[in-house]
Structure 1
Amino acid sequence: MSHPHPELGTPPKLPRNGLRVVALGGLGEVGRNMTVLEHRGRLLVIDCGVLFPQEHQPGVDVILPDFSFIRDRLDDVAGIVLTHGHEDHIGGVPYLLRERPEIPVVGSRLTLGLLRAKLKEHRIEPTTVEVAEGDRRSLGSFDCEFVAVNHSIPDGLAVAVRTAAGTLLHTGDFKMDQFPLDDRITDLRAFARLGEEGVDLFLVDSTNAEVPGFTTSERDLAPAIETVFRTAPGRVIVSSFASHVHRIQQVLDAARAHKRKVAFVGRSMVRNMGIARELGYLNVPRGLVVDAKELEGLPDHKVTLVCTGSQGEPMAALSRMANRDHQIRIGEGDTILLASSLIPGNENAISRVINGLTRWGAKVVHQGNAKVHVSGHASAGELVYCYNIVRPRNVMPVHGEWRHLRANADLAIRTGIAPDRVVVADDGVVVDLIDGRAKVTGKVRAGYVYVDGASVGGVTEEALRDRVTLSQQGTVTVVALVDADTGELTEPPDFLARGFGTDEALFEGAVPAIERALAGAAAKGIGDAHELEQLMARALSQWVARKHRRNPLVIPVVIEA
């Protein structure tokens, strides 16, 4: 098994007979998926998604891949191929197209429909190329064939990329549900045909590689959802991903069977379901879906609301309902159905929402106490099945945390693929396919780019550490009037503290420590205000740590008298 190393340097120039693969996101994490292929001077981007922030990244809206690797070569990008319409695969496209709007974007009908609505908000008119399973398109030096795959959103595609260096097959996100709601199964016949032709590098979804067996079919959820609608005494409020068309279809079918009206709540839910309905991916019987205001006159047992917020996002509709910060007031008799999987890292946020909803009297049905969700990703049995069908020459697990990538690699090896032909890489690691072998040859920059409001890339790791410190440890501002000649305090410093209580004498004991720091600076001939501020901040930080066992953000201000 091939592994990346921290000492990797800049990769060598790619030989003409080589294919370079660089993941700028999606390796070692669930989200931010973006893979760049290079061949004969041209680039092809597969997916460009976002990662959602965790609690240690306060104030961040989304996290983008770092485009530095391709920024100086945007004219060489032959296209952006999208495997499906989830945010972690298309959410970064508007930010990439800001830098070169003319890049063709290739995807299925629903994927492009969701993307166009997103780009409209960014005021970008894209150049799009709609494809379906079985289609082939030439993009620069890349010959792309698209293969149907089943996932938790309709119209998912795998992509086979033929080049003079060999053939690469990228599964995208997929599973092998044999009874999907839309009857569109993963095309294993195409996988087998490509395997017979020869797949030189197989990029495989790793998210469920640790899960034994086969992923449950979407149809198996129908009884649990039907039970919720049959037994709920009042309103049913369903929270789901705004792109999970299949799950919403099941909810609509259950609501219709129990003679309930349905309203969509939340901007992204209203927008995405409108697109899915318009394009024919969502079957909505006449009169079933109404505006939320029309539900106000109906009895509770005739009402269903479908909203966002299943991951505990603070600004989503469900979180605001739990916090009593929404026009929809949760109360006794309400049943909340969380119809989405738990994304790693969101456990605490989801738990807070469940507790908040329960506090107001609602019954909360979720993945932990009912069979109301199945994964959209292939489990270990399905992955092994694919390896045995495709028989690739080299394998590179993608899309998953490190434990998922390694589990997937182990599955590939167990099917007979040589360990030295299985590449477990990290974001930014360069993998070159040359003469039929995939090897790690270097590393490029692939860090996090934070979107904070209108700022893209302006927030640094240091700024995030400051935000966390502010939220957990508080802040102390010290203003000192210093004699420019002697370096001594001309009067006691002023302290302004937040997060420490209201005792004005709390920091009086720090004055001697500050005086000693200033005296030491004067003895060394240090008189620059900035240097004095740094010394004063260090002295105050050390004193607070000893006295109060806290590590606040210290803001020093020196005024020369």
Structure 2
Amino acid sequence: MSHPHPELGPPPKLAEGGLRVTPLGGLGEIGRNMTVFEFGGRLLIVDCGVLFPEEEQPGIDLILPDFTSIRNRLNDIEGIVLTHGHEDHIGAVPYLLREKPDIPLIGSKLTLALIEAKLQEHRIRPYTLEVREGNRERVGPFDCEFIAVNHSIPDALAVAIRTPAGMVVHTGDFKMDQLPLDHRLTDLTTFARLGEEGIDLLLTDSTNAEVPGFTPHERDISSVLRQVFGGARKRIIVASFASHVHRIQQVLDAAHAYGRRVAFVGRSMVRNMGIARDLGYLKVPAGLIVDVKALDDLPDEEVVLVCTGSQGEPMAALSRMANRDHQIRIVQGDTVVLASSLIPGNENSVYRVINGLTRWGANVVHKGNAKVHVSGHASAGELLYFYNICKPKNLMPVHGEWRHLRANAELGALTGVPHDHIVIAEDGVAVDLIDGRARISGKVQAGYVYVDGLSVGDVTESSLKDRRILGEEGIISVYLVVDSTTGKITSGPHIQARGSGIEDSAFAGVMPKIDDAIGRAARDGVLEAYQLQQLIRRTVGKWVSDNYRRRPMILPVVVEV
């Protein structure tokens, strides 16, 4: 197996007749999926998603792929193939189309409907090409064939990309549920046919590669939901991803069976479920859905609320309910169902919400105490089966953290893919398919791009470090006035602390040290304000560290008169 190397330089010019595959996100992480394919000077992008921030990224709303390596080549992009409608695969499309709005979007009916609704909020009207399984479309030099795959959202597709350099198959997210709610199976017959034709490079979903056996059926949840609904005596509140149509269908079916009415809460939930219903992907019995404003007229035992916030997102409906910051107030006897997976990194946020809901008397049902979620990704048994069908000549695990990528690579090796034909890459690493072999050729910039409100890319790792220090250690401001001629202090120092755990009165102990340091600087002829600020920062920082073992942000202000 080949592995990424931190000393990799930029990749050389692509050899004539070769195909370059460059993931800009989705490797070493769950989210931000984006892969760029290059052949003959033209580019094809598969997916363009976002990553959701973790606790150590305070104030950040979304994390985007880094478009730097393609920014000067936007005119070379033939199109963006979207494998399915989850945010980690389509969420960054508006930010790329801001730079070139006429890049064609290629995807299934539901996927395009979801991204078009999102783009409408950004006032972008995209060029779209609707495809379905079995279709084969020429996109510049890329001959794309679309294959049905089963996932936790309808209309998911894999794509086989044929070029003179060989055939690459990208699975997107998939599993092999044999009893899907929509009866749409992963098309193993087509994958077997492609395997017989010869798959030169296979890019495969790695999310569940560490999980033995087979992923349970989605329909297994139905009986558990009905049991929960049958035992609930007051309102039922279900939190799920706003795009999980299959899960919401089962909630609607359970509500209908127990004579309850359903209201959607949260803008994305209302929008996505409206789209799914209009397109026929969500089957809604007449009279089942009501506006949230009508709930006051219904008894608690006839109410179901479906909302966002299953990952503990601070501004989502469920978190606000837990914090008593929402029009819907949790009361004793309510039942809350978290019908989703726990994305790595969100554990603390989710348990904080569970505790908050429990505090107000809710019975919280989640993956840890009931089978209210099954994964949308293939487990190890399915991946082994899949590799034996596809028989890839080269393998590149995608979509997963490092442990997932490595486990997926080992599964491929067990089925006979030679170790030196398996590429474990990371974001930004270019992999060239030349003469039937896939090899790492270099690395392009592929860092995090942070969205903070209306700001895109302005927040740096340095400013995030400052935010973490402010949140964990607090801030100390030091203000003084010095004579610009003599360098002597004429006023101050005035010291204030916020969030540092140090009382303002305690700073009497550091005042003489600041006076001594400024005095020595004046005698040595050090009079510039910037140099004095650095001197104050070091003096106060050492005093705080020695006495309190803390490292707050220190903000010195020196005014010369």
TM-score bucket of the superposed structures, by smaller chain: over 0.9
Equivalent positions of 1:154-553 (< 5 A) are 154-500=154-500, 503-522=503-522, 524-553=524-553
Distance 2:490 2:131 in 1: 75
The residue matched to 2:227 in structure 1 has which SS? helix
What does residue 88 of structure 1 align with?
88
1:447, CA displacement in angstroms? 0.2
Deviations 1:473-524 (A, max 9, x none): 1101101212223323223301121114583322122223323443454455
Question: How many angstroms does 1:262 deviate by?
Answer: 0.5
Q: SS at the partner of 1:54? A: coil
Deviations along 1:156-212, one digit per CA (max 9) or x if unpaired, are 000000001111000000000000000001000110011111111100000000000
Deviation by residue 1:235-271 (Cα, 9 ceiling, x = unmatched): 1110000000000000000100111000001111000
2:131 is aligned with 1:131? yes
Bigger mean CA deviation after superposition, 507-516 or 167-176: 507-516
Q: What's 1:30 paired with?
A: 30
TM-score, normalised relative to structure 2: 0.99
- C-alpha separation in 1, matches of 2:307 and 2:250: 14
Amino acid across the alignment from 2:231: T
The corresponding residue for 2:559 is 559
Q: Select between 381-390 and 509-518 the one with higher mean Cα deviation.
A: 509-518
Kept in 1: contact 2:265–2:317 (CA 8 A): yes
Aligned to 2:63: 63
Structure 1: stretches of 5+ with no match in the other structure: none
- 1:492–1:511 CA contact under 8 A, matched in 2: no
Contact in 2 for aligned 1:537/1:554 (Cα 8 Å): yes
**How large is the RMSD of aligned CA atoms in angstroms?**
1.1
Q: Is the 8 A contact 2:497 2:503 kept in 1?
A: no
How far did 1:296 drift?
1.1
1:336 partner SS: strand
Deviation at 1:532, TM superposition (A): 2.0
Residue deviations 1:454-479, cap 9 Å, x none? 00001111111111111111101101
> What letter corresponds to residue 8 of structure 1 in structure 2?
L
Q: Which amino acid aligns with 1:247?
A: R
- Bigger shift: residues 512-521 or 23-32: 512-521
TM-score, structure 1 normalization: 0.99
User: 1:340 aligns to what SS in structure 2?
Assistant: coil
1:368 match: secondary structure: coil
In 1: Cα distance, 2:127 partner to 2:83 partner: 17
Distance of aligned partners of 1:35 and 1:524 in 2 relative to their CA distance in 1, 3 Å threshold: farther
* Amino acid across the alignment from 1:373: H
Name the CA distance, whole Å, in 2 between partners of 1:198 and 1:386: 14
- Checking the alignment, whether the CA contact within 8 Å between 1:83 and 1:172 is kept in structure 2 is yes
Moved more, 370-379 or 135-144: 135-144
Aligned to 2:43: 43
Aligned to 1:150: 150
Classify the secondary structure of the residue corresponding to 2:223. helix
Conserved? CA contact 2:500–2:552, under 8 Å: no
Residue 202 of structure 1 aligns with an amino acid whose one-letter code is L
> Within 2, Cα distance between the matches of 1:521 and 1:212?
67
Q: Find the residue that maps to 2:199 and give its secondary structure.
A: coil
Distance 1:139-1:526 versus aligned 2 partners, 3 A rule: farther
* Separation in structure 2 between the aligned mates of residue 179 and residue 304 of structure 1, nearest angstrom: 27
In structure 2, the residue corresponding to 1:507 is in which secondary structure?
Answer: helix
Q: Note if contact 2:335-2:362 (Cα within 8 Å) is conserved in structure 1.
A: yes
**CA distance, structure 2, for counterparts of residue 531 and residue 20 of structure 1:** 51
Find the residue that maps to 1:487 and give its secondary structure: coil
Distance 1:455 1:521 in 2: 41
Letter in 2 for 1:315: M
Amino acid in structure 1 at the alignment position of 2:481: L
How far apart in 2 are the matches of 1:349 and 1:27?
Answer: 24
Contact 2:480 2:557 in 1 (8 A): yes
- Whether contact under 8 Å (1:322, 1:357) holds in the other structure is yes
Contact 2:479 2:492 in 1 (8 A): no
CA distance in 2, matches of 1:345, 1:528: 46
Identity of aligned residues (%): 68
Deviations 1:302-324 (A, max 9, x none): 11110000000010000011111
Distance 1:466 1:434 in 2: 45
Structure 2 vs 1, CA of residues 516 and 136 (structure 1 numbering), >3 Å: closer, same or farther? farther
